[in-house]
Structure 1
């Protein structure tokens, strides 16, 4: 039986649709050929949706004394700021079920990071902009994992985004529909070491938050938890963080391994810390040994497989 795919928004041009201002597309084969095995896409081109047509005159972000505007390059009197913002707010409501969003970089409607803004004189002013449609989606759906297609070429950013998508999907399926203390604890028990690897400060904060589940309504605690949890996973897991989690998990084996096995595992963890081998190397041996413990708590840790192993995200 095929696994259910995760709902993810995507800039329409990334699927090969000819909706760009020049009548072309920006198809990403990684998105269409690999991630499509796991994600169900909800494609949007906000510029076409507000009636700009294809092909069309290009637009850009313009810094004014009234804030950032979106105007046609060669005619500032053609301003589409309000239509784009209105459409973004509308789609944030219609796409509230999404568990991730992949935007097209360098787009005045969809770019997320370091977007170039122009001054009224037509010259570049700074890179403090964000696409207006993307801004509305991010503002209205603050927990939603988002990324730009171009940044998915970076192995660390790619793995972090997909990890967040899977974790958020898990939450929305298993906790959000019916919040309970048991559901919350069961959920976090699977992600404890993953949070440790991503952001130790959040690991401590969440521990304090969950220390007394009777102190406040469970809905309030769940809201605080998922905000801190997604914030934690928003930090890339570092070698230091992963090594810390590996060392903690190794502690469960202190009475299970002989001297040579302990040395072998310790050497692999150290080689990973130093950057000589990828994470999958010590992880594979650690998982092998933990089977001897027969502990459901350990076996259910998302740290082992936070995303499909076929994607090979930990092989670099």
Structure 2
């Protein structure tokens, strides 16, 4: 199995000149930093259905009966919806092993949200549409991390997306090696603090489900159900409040090992993070320093400290 996460990506975001106007939308972070740590599999759905470069622009049209169709802007009765539907039906089964997907914002084929819709007379409607390809993608793989280039400029959404793709990659690797109860339980144990940071209520709810693992005869069925629950929790970005609770929880492991000055310093750094005066990297760095000096078997396994490669610099940008 590939030792890097495998991601689909709209071809134009890689720098390939595949857009309708012959241009591209290359993303610097994606191609200069993330590409070193993941394997990208580019696709341009519009070219895949046989359209040339350059080509007439497409738009989403809401018909009088409520259907959403892809039609050419200059020839509103020329419909390519069936071609796109046929392509996605053949393409989507081939990417079941993917760990994420990055799509192009506002595109009638690839946009993830807020794609403008038109009526059959050509009048502009609301920005409530989803690109035809991406709609099918998210319906087929509801657990798959999917983001668009525009949203990835938000440091919180970017960090959350990257954390999710590495989590799914690790989980998929367990399945590829052959599922065992021990491996599934060890995975969940590694992600406990990470889940707690994302959603405390959901963290408490998934616990009894995992505890029921011994009752499942079909481990693959458990895997599918667990994957859905895990990725749903991780999809909600971790809040400052939840991060603070997790940091305070970790602090408790060092209560008997640090002197009064160290305990006070650590608590103040965490409080300064909660107040927005420091990035989360500050308390995490201090806690990792103390963990190196005072190893704890449970904490050393926690994905929370290193959910993705440090060189991506994601925790430098988020508060």
TM-score, normalised relative to structure 2: 0.95
Deviates more, 1:184-193 or 1:63-72: 63-72
CA distance in 1 between partners of 2:34 and 2:221 (Å): 34
Aligned to 1:212: 212
CA distance in 2 between partners of 1:28 and 1:98 (Å): 20
C-alpha deviation, 1:200, in angstroms: 1.2
The superposition leaves residues 63-115 of structure 1 with CA deviations (integer Å, 9 ceiling, x where unpaired) of: 11141111111212110111112212211111222111110111000000111
CA distance in 1 between partners of 2:117 and 2:176 (Å): 38
Aligned to 1:196: 196
Aligned to 1:150: 150
User: Is the CA contact (8 Å cut-off) linking 1:256 and 1:292 kept in structure 2?
Assistant: no
User: Is the CA contact (8 Å cut-off) linking 1:112 and 1:147 kept in structure 2?
Assistant: yes
How well do the aligned residues superpose, as a CA RMSD in angstroms?
A: 1.4
Aligned to 2:308: 307
CA distance in 1 between partners of 2:199 and 2:87 (Å): 35
Aligned to 2:112: 112
| 1:7-46 matches, cutoff 5 A | 7-46=6-45
CA distance in 2 between partners of 1:245 and 1:92 (Å): 38
CA distance in 1 between partners of 2:220 and 2:56 (Å): 48
CA distance in 2 between partners of 1:223 and 1:295 (Å): 31
CA distance in 2 between partners of 1:238 and 1:251 (Å): 20
| 1:117-132 matches, cutoff 5 A | 117-132=117-132
**Is residue 92 from structure 1 mapped to residue 110 from structure 2 by the alignment?**
no
CA distance in 2 between partners of 1:212 and 1:126 (Å): 46
| 1:1-316 matches, cutoff 5 A | 4-64=3-63, 65-175=65-175, 177-217=177-217, 218-316=219-317
The superposition leaves residues 254-312 of structure 1 with CA deviations (integer Å, 9 ceiling, x where unpaired) of: 11111111110000001101110000100111111123432222112110010111111
SS of the aligned residue for 1:23 comes to coil
C-alpha deviation, 1:121, in angstroms: 2.3
User: Is the CA contact (8 Å cut-off) linking 1:89 and 1:137 kept in structure 2?
Assistant: no
C-alpha deviation, 1:177, in angstroms: 4.3
CA distance in 1 between partners of 2:3 and 2:180 (Å): 24
CA distance in 2 between partners of 1:240 and 1:55 (Å): 49
Change (3 A) 1:303 1:4: same
The superposition leaves residues 32-90 of structure 1 with CA deviations (integer Å, 9 ceiling, x where unpaired) of: 11111011111100101111111111010111114111111121211011111221221
CA distance in 2 between partners of 1:28 and 1:148 (Å): 11
SS of the aligned residue for 1:78 comes to coil
CA distance in 2 between partners of 1:30 and 1:313 (Å): 11
CA distance in 1 between partners of 2:268 and 2:230 (Å): 31
User: Is the CA contact (8 Å cut-off) linking 1:99 and 1:145 kept in structure 2?
Assistant: yes
CA distance in 1 between partners of 2:177 and 2:72 (Å): 44
SS of the aligned residue for 1:201 comes to helix
Structure 1: gaps (5+ residues): none
User: Is the CA contact (8 Å cut-off) linking 1:116 and 1:126 kept in structure 2?
Assistant: yes
Structure 2: gaps (5+ residues): none
For this pair of structures, how many residues does the alignment match? Answer: 314
Return the structure number with greater helix share.
Answer: 2
C-alpha deviation, 1:183, in angstroms: 1.1
